[in-house]
């Protein structure tokens, strides 16, 4: 039974609606049974339900998005799209001024012969002509032929067979990251069955862009896409919605949402129920009503409300199951309910020579490292794993190579662990003393571990310090603690790519040039710039005068000014400080800014104009 509704307010929001994508082919699958008990009426085109989280506290630039979802009615031929957004295409604007939004979405789907997840990317166009393609995100994982779609735009997508169930909560995670091998930004989709905690990587794509991130409304929609199943009831529950802000570098709890239904489409009829409780956002549609006009008048077009949810998302556990050798490879396993691992960085240390070789990989499907190039000897392999939530886990493994045969065991880099048994005991003291009088011969790595005072020699002093530590005397040395072997050389990036020539480092600019089109004929334009972190402004209000630069083809004057590169926000105004624009999050990649006809109210209660970049 649903909880009592909170007080809800109506709102209006403009949006771009994406409907049916023509699906070119499906993999063989068993027939899907609809679980809805509603009587199907194919003459009723079911309404769509839309939702938009409140992003007003964020910068609008994201690396991750998470949302929990379930449905009671797995109605046939339904999309449940849980993250509809865009890729930042700022890096293309200088070469392609008319570059289009790079739209993508991901979520769940039921079709007559498939239960699956879906991840779709539209072609990035120069303008609106669909033949004028700049680039298209391409699938990296899983490997295989590209799956193209057409209809309302063209692009690439991937359907993964996934037997998701009704009345079961799932988490959808979308995350983007910079791939070290290609220098491009990748974006992936993961699904978690909340009931058993299991995560699965559905797919990830190369955006073909270097500095992109996720932008847009981070919206959701539920839509029926096939006439024979229009009249089936379909619903969705949404909760625990979060996004990680690239600019502000923190997670935001998106507990406020606006919802509406497809009232603007005259061909759609039937129910359109929306509710917001303390626990979730809910929408349903698809059932026939006897008096549509009366039903529409009794049910709101828009709802806005807030749910109760934790300030931070549930990341899950982070622990390694096993690490082992397999022929000439090092292989590791994480449990299925472990947080998704995104990358690993490995140092391979020759314990005889202390030579270090480093590897780095940002491909989440790779769970092994080839060791076939190692010569006979003893090695310590130190690996740091990083999950999609930027948490780290380190693991050490000792490997012996003899005649291309590998044997290994878990290890640990502990200061004082002279005999390498992953603990510091009196045995290590005895080993150091035996080494000091020449009874035994240690390798360089053992000597490095035993040299607890770091004076570049192993001696009785080290043995005495360990003895004192064993009887709980305080020392200034990290005996018994994990220590780093450094410095490490530049890592080999996996998969390997041709290295580009090394360029001399460039110094960050000390200032940025900002341009402003005076399309409202304010005249005598000033710019006020400040740093939101330090609260320091470049000049007192109303800022500094901008200088005339040129006029555009409409005869509108364009002004320019230099502001310190440390500034994060700007306002355009006049010498008198009025009229003015809203507080603008400064984008150094924008060509300039202009004034729209829209207004808003700033933190001082003043009506201000909304400016946008061009």
Same-domain check for residues 265 and 188? yes
Q: Is residue 314 part of a domain?
A: no
Q: Is residue 57 part of a domain?
A: yes
Give the span between the Cα atoms of 205 and 140, in whole angstroms. Answer: 5
Q: What pLDDT is attached to residue 303?
A: 96
User: Quick check: 16 pLDDT over 70?
Assistant: no
471 contacts: CB under 8 Å, gap ≥ 6: none
Q: What pLDDT is attached to residue 507?
A: 47
Reported confidence tier of residue 133, pLDDT bands at 50, 70, 90 = very high
Reported confidence tier of residue 482, pLDDT bands at 50, 70, 90 = confident
Reported confidence tier of residue 579, pLDDT bands at 50, 70, 90 = very high
Mean pLDDT to the nearest integer, 45-70: 95
User: Quick check: 463 pLDDT over 90?
Assistant: yes
Mean pLDDT to the nearest integer, 478-489: 73
Tell me the pLDDT tens digit for each residue of 326-374.
888 999 999 888 999 999 999 999 988 888 899 999 999 999 999 989 9
User: Who wins on pLDDT, 61 or 565?
Assistant: 61
411: Cα within 13 Å, side-chain hemisphere = 28
Residue 352's nearest CA partner among 442, 274, 426 is 442
Tell me the two tokens of residue 408. Answer: 């290994």
Tell me the pLDDT tens digit for each residue of 267-309.
888 899 999 999 999 999 988 888 999 999 999 999 999 999 9
User: Quick check: 37 pLDDT over 50?
Assistant: no
User: Quick check: 498 pLDDT over 70?
Assistant: no
Same-domain check for residues 181 and 75? yes
Same-domain check for residues 189 and 275? yes
Tell me the pLDDT tens digit for each residue of 392-425.
999 999 999 988 788 988 888 889 999 888 899 9
State in Å, rounded, how far the first CA of the chain is from the last one.
50
Reported confidence tier of residue 25, pLDDT bands at 50, 70, 90 = very low
Domain boundary at 493, 524, 549, which?
493
Reported confidence tier of residue 440, pLDDT bands at 50, 70, 90 = confident
Same-domain check for residues 368 and 296? no
| Partners of residue 244 on adjacent β-strands | 64, 251
Q: Is residue 87 part of a domain?
A: yes
Tell me the pLDDT tens digit for each residue of 209-237.
999 999 999 999 999 888 788 878 999 99
CA distances from 63 to 54, 101, 241 (A): 17, 17, 14
Q: Crossing angle, helix 426-436 and helix 460-470, to 10 degrees?
A: 170
Q: What pLDDT is attached to residue 44?
A: 66
The answer to whether the beta carbons of residues 471 and 479 sit under 8 Å apart is: no
Give the span between the Cα atoms of 37 and 75, in whole angstroms. Answer: 9
The answer to whether the beta carbons of residues 350 and 325 sit under 8 Å apart is: no
Same-domain check for residues 459 and 392? no
Q: Is residue 94 part of a domain?
A: yes
Q: Determine how β-strand 133-135 pairs with β-strand 138-141.
A: unpaired
Tell me the pLDDT tens digit for each residue of 82-132.
999 999 999 999 999 999 889 999 999 998 888 999 999 999 999 888 889
Q: What pLDDT is attached to residue 13?
A: 32
Reported confidence tier of residue 475, pLDDT bands at 50, 70, 90 = confident
Same-domain check for residues 258 and 195? yes
User: Quick check: 532 pLDDT over 70?
Assistant: no
Residue holding tokens 């794993």? 385
CA distances from 456 to 337, 444, 452 (A): 44, 11, 9
The answer to whether the beta carbons of residues 235 and 270 sit under 8 Å apart is: no
User: Quick check: 72 pLDDT over 80?
Assistant: yes
Same-domain check for residues 465 and 523? no
User: Quick check: 33 pLDDT over 70?
Assistant: no
Same-domain check for residues 296 and 358? no
User: Quick check: 535 pLDDT over 90?
Assistant: no
Same-domain check for residues 235 and 337? no
User: Who wins on pLDDT, 500 or 317?
Assistant: 317
Tell me how many domains the chain contains.
Answer: 4
Reported confidence tier of residue 574, pLDDT bands at 50, 70, 90 = very high
Q: What pLDDT is attached to residue 277?
A: 97
Q: What pLDDT is attached to residue 211?
A: 93
Q: Is residue 532 part of a domain?
A: yes
User: Who wins on pLDDT, 224 or 51?
Assistant: 51
CA distances from 574 to 578, 604, 611 (A): 6, 18, 14
Q: Is residue 3 part of a domain?
A: no
Mean pLDDT to the nearest integer, 591-595: 88
The answer to whether the beta carbons of residues 564 and 511 sit under 8 Å apart is: yes
Residue 379's nearest CA partner among 411, 335, 403, 342 is 411
CATH number at residue 400: 2.60.40
Give the structural domain span for 377: 320-413+489-493
Tell me the two tokens of residue 481. Answer: 């603690």
Q: What pLDDT is attached to residue 451?
A: 93
**What's the maximum distance between 2 C-alpha atoms anywhere in the chain?**
99
Q: What pLDDT is attached to residue 24?
A: 31
Assign 3-state DSSP to the chain and report helix, strand, coil percentages, each to 5.
Answer: 5, 45, 50
Give the span between the Cα atoms of 440 and 386, in whole angstroms. Answer: 39
Q: What pLDDT is attached to residue 66?
A: 98
User: Quick check: 2 pLDDT over 70?
Assistant: no
Same-domain check for residues 70 and 216? yes
Tell me the pLDDT tens digit for each residue of 150-207.
877 889 999 999 999 999 999 999 999 999 999 999 999 999 999 999 999 999 999 9
User: Who wins on pLDDT, 388 or 128?
Assistant: 388
Mean pLDDT to the nearest integer, 466-478: 91
**Most confident stretch, 307-311, 321-325, 487-491, 536-540:** 307-311
User: Quick check: 60 pLDDT over 50?
Assistant: yes
Q: Is residue 315 part of a domain?
A: no
Same-domain check for residues 269 and 341? no
Q: Starting at the edge strand that comes first in sequence, how are the strands of the sheet with 544-545 ordered?
A: 544-545, 525-530, 569-574, 584-585
Mean pLDDT over the full length of the chain = 86
Reduced to 3 states (helix: H, G, I; strand: E, B; else coil), residue 430 is: helix
Same-domain check for residues 445 and 557? no
Q: What pLDDT is attached to residue 225?
A: 85
Q: What pLDDT is attached to residue 236?
A: 97
Q: What angle do CA 369, 372, 378 make, to 5 degrees?
A: 90
Percent of the chain scoring above 90 in pLDDT: 58
- Which stretch of DSSP H or E encloses residue 204? strand 198-206
Q: What pLDDT is attached to residue 18?
A: 38
Give 296-361 as a DSSP string.
Answer: HHHS-SEEEEE----SS----B--EEEEEEETTEEEEEE-TTBPPEEEEEEEEEETTT--EEEEEE
Q: Is residue 280 part of a domain?
A: yes
């Amino acid at each position: 039974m649903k909880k009592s509704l909170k007080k809800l307010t109506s709102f209006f929001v403009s949006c771009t609606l994406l409907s049916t994508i023509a699906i070119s082919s499906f993999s063989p699958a068993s027939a899907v049974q609809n679980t809805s008990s509603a009587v199907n009426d194919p003459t009723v085109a079911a309404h769509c339900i839309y939702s938009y989280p409140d992003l007003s506290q964020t910068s609008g630039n994201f690396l991750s998005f998470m949302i929990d979802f379930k449905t009671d009615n797995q109605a046939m031929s339904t999309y449940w799209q849980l993250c509809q957004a865009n890729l930042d295409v700022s890096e293309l604007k200088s070469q392609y001024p008319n570059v289009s939004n790079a739209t993508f979405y991901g979520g769940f789907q039921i079709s007559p012969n498939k239960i699956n997840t879906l991840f779709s990317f539209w072609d990035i166009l120069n303008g609106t002509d669909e033949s004028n393609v700049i680039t298209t995100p391409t699938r990296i994982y899983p490997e295989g032929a590209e799956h193209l779609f057409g209809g309302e735009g063209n692009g690439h997508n991937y359907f993964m067979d996934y037997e998701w169930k009704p009345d079961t909560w799932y988490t959808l995670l979308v995350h983007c990251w910079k791939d070290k091998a290609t220098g491009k930004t990748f974006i992936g989709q993961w699904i978690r069955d909340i009931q058993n905690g299991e995560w699965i990587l559905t797919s990830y794509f190369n955006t073909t862009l270097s500095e992109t991130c996720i932008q847009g409304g981070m919206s959701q929609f539920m839509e029926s896409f096939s006439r024979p199943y229009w009249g089936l009831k379909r619903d969705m529950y949404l909760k625990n919605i979060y996004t990680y802000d690239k600019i502000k570098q923190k997670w935001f709890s998106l507990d406020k949402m606006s919802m509406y239904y497809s009232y603007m489409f005259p061909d759609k009829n039937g129910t359109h129920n929306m509710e917001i409780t303390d626990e979730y956002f809910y929408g349903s549609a698809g059932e026939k009503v006897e008096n549509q006009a009366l039903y529409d008048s009794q049910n709101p077009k828009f709802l806005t409300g807030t749910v109760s949810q934790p300030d931070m998302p549930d990341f899950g556990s982070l622990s390694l199951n096993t690490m082992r050798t397999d022929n000439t490879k090092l292989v590791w396993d994480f449990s299925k309910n472990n947080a998704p691992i995104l990358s690993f960085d490995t140092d391979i240390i020759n314990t005889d020579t202390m030579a270090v070789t480093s590897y780095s990989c940002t491909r989440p499907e790779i769970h092994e490292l080839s060791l076939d190039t190692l010569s006979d000897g003893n090695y310590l392999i130190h690996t740091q794993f990083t999950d999609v939530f930027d948490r780290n886990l380190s693991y050490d493994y000792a490997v012996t190579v003899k005649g291309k045969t590998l044997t290994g065991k878990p290890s640990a880099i502990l200061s004082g662990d002279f005999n390498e048994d992953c603990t510091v005991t009196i045995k290590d003291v005895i080993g150091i003393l035996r080494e000091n009088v020449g009874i035994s011969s240690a390798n360089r790595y053992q000597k490095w571990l035993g040299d607890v005072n770091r004076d570049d020699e192993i001696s009785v002093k080290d043995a005495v310090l360990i003895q004192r530590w064993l009887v709980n005397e305080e020392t200034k040395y990290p005996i018994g603690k994990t220590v780093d072997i450094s410095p490490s050389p530049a890592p080999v990036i996996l998969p390997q790519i041709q290295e580009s020539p090394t360029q001399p480092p460039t110094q960050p600019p000390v200032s940025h040039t900002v341009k402003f089109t005076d399309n409202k004929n304010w005249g005598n334009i000033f710019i006020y710039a400040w740093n939101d972190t330090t609260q320091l402004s470049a000049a007192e209000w109303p800022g500094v005068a901008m200088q005339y630069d040129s006029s555009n083809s409409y005869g509108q004057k364009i002004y320019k000014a230099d502001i310190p590169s440390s500034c994060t926000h700007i306002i355009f105004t006049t010498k008198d400080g009025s009229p003015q624009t809203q507080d603008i999050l400064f984008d150094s990649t924008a060509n300039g800014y202009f004034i729209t006809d829209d207004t808003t109210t700033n933190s001082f209660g003043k009506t201000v104009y909304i400016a946008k970049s061009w």
